[in-house]
Amino acid sequence: MSKNSEKSRVAIIGGGPSGLMAAEVLGQAGADVTIFDRMPSLARKLLLAGRGGLNLTHSEGMQDFLPRYGAAAERLAPAIEALDPDALRAWSAQLGEDTFVGSSGRVFPKSFKASPLLRAFLRRLGDLGVQVRTRCALKSVSSGSLTIETFEGVEETHQFDAIVLALGGASWPRMGSDGGWTQMLADQGIAISPLRPANCGMMVNWSQTMRERFAGAPLKNLALSFGGQHIRGEAIITQGGLEGGAIYALSGALREEVGAQGFATLRIDLRPDMNETALARKIEAARQGRSGGQSISNVLRKGAGLSPAAASLLREAGPLPVSAQDIAARIKDVPVRIIGTAPIARAISTAGGIAFAEVDENFMLKRLPGVFVAGEMLDWEAPTGGYLLQACFATGAAAGRGVAAFLKT
């Protein structure tokens, strides 16, 4: 792939899912590809993702899938349709990692892990002649040129025919992506929406009792509501608030409300499978007990079926009402005052990033012709469920195709 007999030279900065997929597309197109990454090894966040069971994508139809990307759906659609969930599963299978659909519709490799898939992927890239330079941090970039700093502190400037930036968001900076690129690109006039935590824990001003006795305790079988969204699932009490799948699912909406109002009120149903009347009856019966005069803790445990952590959460909402009916009503609608998001360093993903107005339909930066971007660097967010990796792989492939087209012109 070149205008003359020489192979085109392409640099990819960032060896996460999006950068590696761009490398594959470009390697297959015949480019001379070098991946630079600041870490000693590639795709550390992908490996981290694999620790909890790598959720590669989701099996739902496109009409449900694409809206998960909210306002960014329209801009991401062509890339995701070009490398859709079925194509991603086929790609994984070709790398020796067959996938299956879990009960929630989420798609996982049968091994559940990221490491075998990554190993096979890197082997394929090696076979395509893709070079890898680790411990090289990007310092500056312009059309056709970039400067990296090596581990030894030496700055090198290299010329390339095209460059793909796939530097990730700002969550889990220990894995390599720290969002440090924002300043570098903002200095060149590129509009970037501030990086914010997504799929993250939320902060609550717990009482000392809650912090000291219940940090780390799970809250199982909840129904959470906020802003018209209702989520069934679990949460974990932390020193500073709440985290876990059900919280992550609402975290985008909660984050925006806290940003606008200073706080948000999350509502939790601690007994979603029992209606209020039945619950009140059980509470009343437990209150009478065999000998009568049961303690309120016993009533909540035996009558309402609450764990000590759930009972403590209930009490955080204020003094308990007196009547069984009112206690039941509170259990089914506990208000929790959210005062912030947990730090981005612990978030699953990042909201914000390079505005879509800054890139063309091939993800090339309009202000830096020949420089393409992919993955979490772009301004989109999505819930957990495989949507993150799907968009990263798909935009990586799209940027790769964009580079190939650019180099032919």
Ligand X SMILES: Cc1cc2nc3c(=O)[nH]c(=O)nc-3n(C[C@H](O)[C@H](O)[C@H](O)COP(=O)(O)OP(=O)(O)OC[C@H]3O[C@@H](n4cnc5c(N)ncnc54)[C@H](O)[C@@H]3O)c2cc1C
Residues at the contact surface with ligand X, assessed by CB under 6 A: 13-19, 36-39, 42, 44-46, 48-49, 52, 54-55, 137-138, 166-168, 171-172, 176-177, 180-181, 348-349, 375-376, 386, 388-389, 392
Distance CA 171, CA 350 (A): 6
**Can you say whether residue 408 is alpha, beta or left, with left for phi > 0 and alpha for psi between -120 and 50 degrees?**
alpha
Strands of 37-135 (E only): list them: 57-58, 99-101, 106-109, 131-133
- State which residue, 163 or 237, has the beta carbon closest to ligand X: 163
Q: Of 45 and 287, which CB lies nearer to ligand X in the complex structure? A: 45
* Interacting residues of 379 by C-beta distance below 8 A, sequence separation 6+: 72, 192, 193, 351, 352, 353, 354, 355, 356
- The CA distances from residue 332 to 202, 262, 283, 285, in Å, are 21, 25, 13, 18
Residue 305 or 402: the one with the smaller Cβ distance to ligand X is: 402
CB of 31 to ligand X, least distance (A): 19
Of 383, 369, 390, which Cα lies nearest the Cα of 76? Answer: 390
In angstroms, what is the minimal distance from the CB of 44 to ligand X? 6
Q: How far is the CB of 105 from ligand X (least distance, A)?
A: 13
What is the smallest separation between the CB atom of 167 and ligand X, expressed in angstroms?
4
**Among 25, 6, 15, which Cα is nearest to 399's?**
25
Which amino acid would we find at residue 91? W
CA distance 314 to 387: 34
Whichever of 192 and 270 has its CB closer to ligand X, that residue is 192
CB of 190 to ligand X, least distance (A): 15
Using CA atoms, how far apart are residues 125 and 131, in angstroms rounded to an integer?
A: 8
Complete DSSP assignment for 329-361: HHHTSEEEEEEEEPPGGG-SEEEEEE-GGGB-T
Quote the least distance from Cβ 369 to ligand X, whole Å.
21
- Closest CB 348 distance from ligand X, rounded Å: 5
Q: Which amino acid is at 201?
A: G
Which is nearer to ligand X, 280 or 391 (by Cβ)? 391
Looking at the Cβ atoms of 133 and 302, the one nearer to ligand X is 133
Nearer to ligand X, 146 or 266 (CB): 146
